[in-house]
Structure 1
């Protein structure tokens, strides 16, 4: 048995990376500041084409992604994306 524990790099609410013993439950794209489910069809297509991976980040939970300034994906988080979009159009902050 190994003495080293696997760790994962996640982004915190402050947008800074940290080590975690648990895998992230949400993924995101650092450049576009979009987050979504790990099984998001749009993200999986981008990864299959060879893109996206170098800009991929992970979050422990959805609230952390929002706190870090990421918006919901319109492909896999349609309801939350609509709420975010409406809040933005009305000039107000969006929260979960």
Structure 2
């Protein structure tokens, strides 16, 4: 499967209320649709940038490289936020 950036415009969508950006041929997506899931929650985007701007994250199953980059970035941001907070006061 090509990375998300190589997917032609209009060929990526979201099919989960959990805001996962998936390829339209994602195996997990197709299994869920076959069971009757996701169909009412499907949203389609013209491109990756639009989906990311809308708050969707890449699917770990069909977009593993994009997912790893997203996860690494998210964890780094969370770590920075934790480290920049003042220490908590201990209560007895």
- Shared fold (TM-score greater than 0.5)? yes
- Give structure 1 stretches of 5+ with no counterpart: 1-22
Deviating beyond 3 angstroms after TM superposition, the runs of 4 or more aligned structure 1 residues are none
Residue in 2 that maps onto 1:12 = none
Task: Note the aligned Cα RMSD (angstroms).
Answer: 1.6
Counterpart-to-counterpart distance in 2, 1:60 and 1:36: 13
State which of 1, 26, 32 in structure 2 corresponds to 1:46. 32
* 2:63 is the counterpart of 1:61: no
* 2:53 is the counterpart of 1:71: no
**For 1:1-42, what per-residue CA distance to the aligned partner results, in whole angstroms no more than 9, with x for missing partners?**
xxxxxxxxxxxxxxxxxxxxxx83111035101111110111
- TM normalised by structure 1 equals 0.68
Q: Which has the higher helix share?
A: 2
- TM normalised by structure 2 equals 0.70
Q: Which has the higher strand share?
A: 1
Does structure 1 conserve the Cα–Cα contact (< 8 Å) formed by 2:16 and 2:38?
no
Greater Cα offset, 24-33 or 53-62? 24-33
Q: Which has the larger radius of gyration?
A: 2
In the alignment of these two chains, the number of paired residues is: 70
